[in-house]
Amino acid sequence: MTSVVGPILFSRIVERFGSAQAALGIGAGQLQKIDGIGPILAEEIVRSRDRADVQQEVVLAAELGISIFCRDDDQYPEPLRHIPDPPICLYVRGRIESADTVAIALVGARRCTIYGREQAYRFGYQLATHGLTIISGLARGIDSESHKGALTANGRTLAVLGNGLADIYPPEHLELAERIVENGALLSELPMTTSPQAKNFLPRNRLIAGLSLGVLVVEAARRSGSLTTARLAGEYNREIFALPGRIDSEYSWGTNKLIRDQHAKLVINTDDIINELGPVGEALHKSDDEKQTSSPSLFNPQSSLNNDEQLIYDSLDHEERSIETIAEMTGQSASKAAATLISLQLKNMIRQLPGNVFVRTRKH
């Protein structure tokens, strides 16, 4: 409605006057009858409403191929209707599909470790191969790697921005944003030309949590916004997941604390997430089983591995082995073995267990 009316206050106004359209002609005196609106705020709402150039906003959105969905529109994402403060309207560039209700959010630190980047990419890739849409925020670090992993798996991904969709932030993610539009959508609740101010990002996080069935925190420092996303997920009755990390790493402080104090599910592999999704998880497992039956070659290691991958895969032979043992058995350097193990994990051929050891996935 205006920049001074938030989602909760907007809901009260609509409830009072019947619709947003009806509220457009309401004066300051009538607005004051609504709980939370005093004389000063009522006058500010009227002034802000009268200054708003709705037509210019609509024209700019149309020029950039952006749709604007209000709460009453059929295209408005169903999961957001059920959070306490759904966005008044949602700007969407790309396409939101019904399948996107089966989604997991991957969030974490912008300034992250190599481990964090690898795991964000890995889980983005593997969850997408199971048919889950990946939700994140297009930020540097964990967010961008999560999107990239999903796209590499030819999966769907949605990016919720903390600025208007007239511009991409951060600017170096322009190409990534274009790829997301082809396989998902960019979303924002903010007017088209809103700049990426710090105050916009915490409210943005509620949309990331609201769109998902659960939130996986990959890495988080003590004051990370990702912890806010996890808290909101709990308030919205979504699942909370976290990757464990080194106890002496600042970037794992938040995830370890989530596991210790807030009962976040400790995650090692995608099964740890899917098994917590109830009937949805059961359906995903059933779909995976059907894929194995109908397309066995997709799960045949011989058909998809290069020579280095096959060598390391054979060395596991259903036994748990460390990188050092694998390197010794295959005659590869530890660094090359580690890189190949990541590749095998992304193909869901092996999984990493506590103690930095690896084993073949059960279905192989």
**Which pair of tokens denotes residue 143?**
């967010």
Helix (H) or strand (E) holding 92: strand 89-94
Residues in a beta bridge with 357: 322, 353
Query: Residue 67 in contact with residue 96, Cβ under 8 Å?
Result: no
In this structure, the number of other CB atoms found within 10 A of the CB of residue 8 comes to 11
What is the structure's pLDDT at 295?
42
What is the structure's pLDDT at 21?
55
Helix (H) or strand (E) holding 214: strand 214-217
pTM (predicted TM-score): 0.71
* Region for 184 from its dihedrals, namely left if φ exceeds 0, alpha if ψ lies in -120 to 50, beta otherwise: left
What is the structure's pLDDT at 297?
39
What is the structure's pLDDT at 300?
47
pLDDT digits (tens, 9 = 90+) for 47-62: 555 555 567 888 999 9
What is the structure's pLDDT at 60?
92
For the chain, which residues score pLDDT lower than 70? 1-54, 289-304, 318, 346, 354-355, 362-364
User: What residues does each domain of the chain span?
Assistant: 1-52, 94-281, 295-360
What is the structure's pLDDT at 120?
95
Is 168 in a helix, a strand, or coil? Answer: coil
Hey, CA dihedral for 168, 169, 175, 176, is it positive or negative? negative
Nearest to 243 by CA among 211, 207, 218, 276: 218
**Which pair of tokens denotes residue 18?**
């019947």
Query: Residue 183 in contact with residue 111, Cβ under 8 Å?
Result: no
Query: Residue 306 in contact with residue 325, Cβ under 8 Å?
Result: no
What is the structure's pLDDT at 1?
46
What is the structure's pLDDT at 174?
96
CATH of 94-281 given 3.40.50.450, 3.40.1020.10, 3.90.640.10, 3.40.30.10:
3.40.50.450
Nearest to 350 by CA among 327, 318, 326: 318
What CATH number was assigned to the domain covering residues 295-360?
1.10.10.10
List of residues 6+ apart from 166 with CB closer than 8 A: 60, 64, 192, 193
Give the CATH H-level superfamily of domain 1-52. 5' to 3' exonuclease, C-terminal subdomain (1.10.150.20)
